[in-house]
Chain A
Amino acid sequence: ETGVTQTPRHLVMGMTNKKSLKCEQHLGHNAMYWYKQSAKKPLELMFVYSLEERVENNSVPSRFSPECPNSSHLFLHLHTLQPEDSALYLCASSYTGGDNSPLHFGNGTRLTVT
């Protein structure tokens, strides 16, 4: 149990499909993140939610749509993706306050777009 749980672990989807990635954290954190991890590139921050409000959106294409219904759950809705969107999508959480805690990551969803 990592404290941050992501489902599904693997996802294969066509370019016309709509799917959602789910993340749940059990650490009492108040911020959640989506990162994209591609081969031989640094982790790319996609979205940040702090206290359920989106505070960062790093020029991510609109075919990625995040949703944070509460401080423990985070979704990434996917539609009309491209093959170059194939990557490992990592969710993370942290506590942002007087003493910011480091990010804790889930095990990721390996996404393949065909």
Chain B
Amino acid sequence: GQQLNQSPQSMFIQEGEDVSMNCTSSSIFNTWLWYKQDPGEGPVLLIALYKAGELTSNGRLTAQFGITRKDSFLNISASIPSDVGIYFCAGQTGANNLFFGTGTRLTVIP
């Protein structure tokens, strides 16, 4: 199946700093999704992107669907302790064709 390269694998940042992570692939996707997973819970959808070039915000989160349709990034502004968790990107080509990245583990130091 398609491989998604998500980076960085982990980040340690100070509270208040901005965060940026991205996902790249050699394959084209129709949809990009960003999920967050807290310990002991399942992934929760943060942002869904449906068009190349689309830039979408959800509070302090902003994500973009790359023009080439092969990449996406997620930014978090003014990080807070509850931003801690694992962030996953996912690219989708069809109803049952969803591929996940390996995740970015975010640690926020108060």
Contacts and interface: CB of A to CB of B under 8 A. Distances in A.
B102 A40 contact: yes
Contacts of A104: 45
Interface residues of A, number: 26
B41 A50 contact: no
B43 A105 contact: yes
B102 A48 contact: no
Nearest to B95: A96
Contact of A48 (B44, B45, B96): B96
Contacts, number: 53
A2 B42 contact: yes
B34 to A, nearest CB: 10
B95 to A, nearest CB: 4
Contacts of B98: 45, 103
B24 to A, nearest CB: 14
Contacts of A31: 95-96
Contact of A105 (B44, B94, B101): B44
Interface of B: 4, 31, 33, 35, 40-45, 48, 88, 92, 94-96, 98-103
8 contacts: A31-B96, A42-B101, A43-B88, A45-B98, A48-B96, A50-B96, A100-B94, A102-B31
